[in-house]
Each structure stands twice: as structure tokens, then as C-alpha cells.
Amino acid sequence: MALTTVFSSPKRGQGGKASWRGNHPPTLSLEIFKWLKPRLVADPMCGSGTTGDAARQAGIQVWEGDLHQGFNALVDEIPVMPDLTWLHPPYHDMIVYSGKVWGKSANPNDLSRSPSYGEFLKRLNQVQYNAYQALRPGGHLAVLVGDLKRKGKLYPIQRDMRWYGEPVNLIVKTQHNVQSSGRSYSGNFVPIMHEYLVVTRKPKSVASAWLVTVRDGRESQKDQRKTTLMGWNATVWTTLQALGGKASLQNIYKEAMSHARVKRARSKGTDWQAIIRRTLQETCSSVERGVWALPMAV
Ligand SMILES: C[S@@+](CC[C@H](N)C(=O)[O-])C[C@H]1O[C@@H](n2cnc3c(N)ncnc32)[C@H](O)[C@@H]1O
């Protein structure tokens, strides 16, 4: 079957160990080999050796390393120049490796032991950059990552991590036989049933030898009071939210005065207080005389 941007392999195939927590199917590595035709593959986080076994089956040379074998992908250089580097990191602490899957104690360089999600991303970016550096010009970096859910919040690693090199393909790999698929949920939890393979390329051109394309998608927070692009409804509703969902008209005016939209209206001599009153009347609830609350849920 030809490779598409959706990869599904209900049968795992031969190679690596199905018992190694967080392993991937060798069928995925084999499909990527058929597509990219590498002559030398590197896997610096090889785990149970899935990609290595797949490469040997396909007659491709391979170099493998992992922290459990003494190779630290954070600082150690990949000793070969591969056409394809396969990188399958831990998904932060979804599965903790050192001291659990292998070894007797926690290893501080283990990405799955990163003390926070932010620190994990920093380390993952470092590992990716190291992997990118070793690539032969024109070579590909394939990073297999999934999303993480903690206390109802999604941590989309694929978006939050950096992408090094020219983006080539984003392949969605559907999950089979994962632990979560066997559980029954109360109805408000949506199990994650896919991962991503982010494939980028190191350019060949002489002009870009020193330049690396970096895509940085980290989460950031922007103060919405600084934008005039917020509509009046949203400005009034967010003002009310900032005041605990219910507030007097005077307090609403006071809180809204620091908003760029209100400041602009004031500087133009527009009756911004009338706009706020009209928005409150048309969209919010009057809970007592002069006191307004966010609109009721319908
Ligand atoms: C998701 S597993 C890889 C699984 C592999 N693809 C397989 O099919 O077996 C992630 C691996 O990253 C390794 N690892 C964590 N931190 C590392 C580091 N700093 N350097 C090298 N390997 C590391 C872990 O030991 C673990 O084996």
C-alpha cells in the first residue's frame, strides 16, 4: 500500500519489542525507508531497536544509540552522517523510562524525567538540533511524537516543539493496541488515538550551509487589553469575566478603561460608555439594579 499522510498498521510487524513501553511498529519505519530510500539511518533514541531492526531487514546500514546504552542524545554527537535520522522521544512523562522501563534508578538526562513540560520541550529541542546537525545535506529528520493530556489540558508536543529544517510531510499515525483504547470512559474524555511523524529536510544548497530553518510554535500569552482587534461584545464579556462574572456598571467602566479599544474610542471622542451599556443590555443579564452578569447559558 502506498504511503499517504495517514498511516495505519493494525499488525505491528517484526522488529524491536512489542513489550517495550512506547515502542512503534517497524512497519512505519519500513514505509518511510521505501519513500526516502536512505542508505544510512541513525536512531539516537532507539529504545528496543525497532528502527534498527527494520533497517537491517531492508538491507540499510544503521547506527543506534539510547540513554540505556550510554548514549546521551542531549550532548553526545551522532558519530555518523545519516541520510535519515529517526527520532522517537518520550512524550514527556507519559511513560517514564529510566528506573522503570530500564535501569534501577532515575537518570537525570532521561527526557521522560524532565521536571516540567517546559524543560522537556527545551531538552527535546536540543536533542532535535543535535540530530539535525549530523544529517547529510539533503537528508531527512523524522520525529515521531504524540500529544499529552494532563488534567483536561492538551499538551500538543508536535506543535510546541521546534521543527528544524524544511518541512516535508506531517504524517498522522493511527494508534492500535494502546492501553487507553481498552478502558471505558465516563463519556467526557476523548482518548488520543494518533501520533505524528514530522518529516523535515536539511537543504543541500551551499548558500544555506550555515542557515537552519527553525519553526518555533511555543505557547505564549498575550494581553488582550492591548489589541484593538477585540470586538465590543468580547471586550465587555472579558471585562465581566475579569471582574468575577458579575459587576456594577461603574466597576465595568473602570476595568474597561485600560483596554486599547476603549482608549481609542475615548481619544476619538466616541461615547464608549454608551457602547458598553448597549452591549450589556443586548447581550448580558441585569441581576439587580446597576449590576450586570455574563449571559446565561442557553
Ligand atoms: C519512545 S522510546 C523509543 C521507542 C522505540 N522507537 C521503540 O520502538 O522501541 C524513547 C526512548 O528515549 C530514550 N531516552 C530518553 N532520554 C534520552 C537521552 N537523553 N538520550 C538518549 N535516549 C534517551 C529512552 O530511554 C527511551 O528508550
Phi, psi values for residue 141, rounded to 5°: -115, 125
Written as nine digits, the cell of 144 is 515521531
Per DSSP, the three-state class of 8 is coil
Atom of ligand 1 nearest to the CA of 107: 16
Is the confidence at residue 276, as pLDDT, over 90? yes
66, 97, 127, 214 from 90: Cα distances, Å: 12, 8, 12, 21
Contact between residue 3 and residue 31 where contact means Cβ atoms under 8 Å apart? yes
Mean pLDDT of the 60-66 span: 98
Ligand 1, pocket-test mutation among 66, 102, 104, most atoms within 8 A of CB: 66
Domain pair 6-216 / 224-293, same fold: no
User: How does 220-229 read in b/e, with b if 16+ C-beta sit within 10 Å?
Assistant: eeeeebeeee
Ligand 1, pocket-test mutation among 62, 91, 98, 110, most atoms within 8 A of CB: 110
126 Cα to the center of ligand 1, angstroms: 14
CATH annotation of 224-293: 1.10.10
Q: Give residue-wise pLDDT tens across range 190-216.
A: 899 999 999 999 999 988 889 999 999
The arrangement of strands across the sheet holding 194-201 comes to 6-7, 166-174, 194-201, 140-146, 84-87, 40-43, 61-64
Written as nine digits, the cell of 168 is 516535508
**Residues with Cβ < 8 Å from 280, sequence gap 6 or more?**
236, 249, 252, 286, 292
Written as nine digits, the cell of 5 is 499522510
pTM: 0.88
Give residue limits of the domains in the chain: 6-216, 224-293
Q: Give residue-wise pLDDT tens across range 66-115.
A: 999 999 999 999 999 999 999 999 999 999 999 999 999 999 999 999 99
Higher-scoring residue by pLDDT: 277, 185: 277
Q: Give residue-wise pLDDT tens across range 3-12.
A: 999 999 989 9
Closest C-alpha among 50, 49, 46, 17 to residue 31: 50
Q: What is the pLDDT of residue 296?
A: 79
**Atom 3 of ligand 1, residue of closest alpha carbon:** 47
Residue 233's CB is within 10 A of a number of other CB atoms, namely 13
Q: What is the pLDDT of residue 78?
A: 96
Q: What is the pLDDT of residue 217?
A: 85
Query: CATH number of the domain at 6-216, out of 1.20.1250, 3.40.50, 1.10.3470, 3.40.1350?
Result: 3.40.50
